[in-house]
Amino acid sequence: MPLLGSIQVASVVYLSLGSNIGERKKSLEEAIKELKTKLGILAISSVYQSKPIGLEDQPDFYNLVIKARTDLNPHQLLDYIQHIEVNLGRKREARWGPRTIDIDILLYNNQVISSDRLVIPHPRMIERLFVLKPLLEVEPELELPDRKEVKNYLEKIKNQKVEKITEIATPRRGSQ
- CA gap 4, 134 in Å, rounded: 36
Binding flag, residue 120, ligand AMP (CB under 6 A): yes
Among 122, 130, 139, 150, binds ligand AMP (CB under 6 A): 122
Cα–chain center distance at 5: 32
Residues in 21-80 that interact with ligand AMP by CB under 6 A: 78
Q: Give the residue with the Cβ less far from ligand AMP, 98 or 140.
A: 98
Q: Confirm whether 124 is a catalytic residue.
A: no
Task: Figure out which of the listed residues 90, 117, 156, 161 binds ligand AMP, where binding follows CB under 6 A.
Answer: 117
Q: How far is Cα 108 from Cα 18, in angstroms, rounded to an integer?
A: 19
Q: Residue 91 contacts by C-beta under 8 Å, 6 or more apart in sequence?
A: 100
We find the least distance from the C-beta atom of residue 102 to ligand AMP, in angstroms, to be: 5
Binder among 105, 131, 136, 138 for ligand AMP (CB under 6 A): 105
| Position among 28, 102, 130, 135 found at the interface with ligand AMP (CB under 6 A) | 102
Please report the DSSP string for 48-111 in residue order: EEEPPSSS-SSPPEEEEEEEEEESS-HHHHHHHHHHHHHHHHHHHS-TTSPPS-EEEEEEETT-
Q: Is the dihedral of CA 114, 98, 47, 126 positive or negative?
A: positive
**For the chain, what's the residue count?**
176
Does 102 participate in catalysis according to the annotation? yes
83 binds ligand AMP (CB under 6 A): no
Stretch that binds ligand AMP, among 19-27, 63-71, 114-122, 155-163 (CB under 6 A): 114-122
Cβ-contact 77, 14 below 8 angstroms = no
- Annotated catalytic residue: which of 90, 124, 172, 173? 90
Check if 90 is active-site.
Answer: yes
> Looking at 20-28, 51-59, 119-127, 130-138, which segment touches ligand AMP (CB under 6 A)?
119-127
Residues in contact with ligand AMP by the rule CB under 6 A = 78, 102, 104-105, 117-120, 122
Would you name the residues annotated as active-site residues? 90, 99, 102, 104
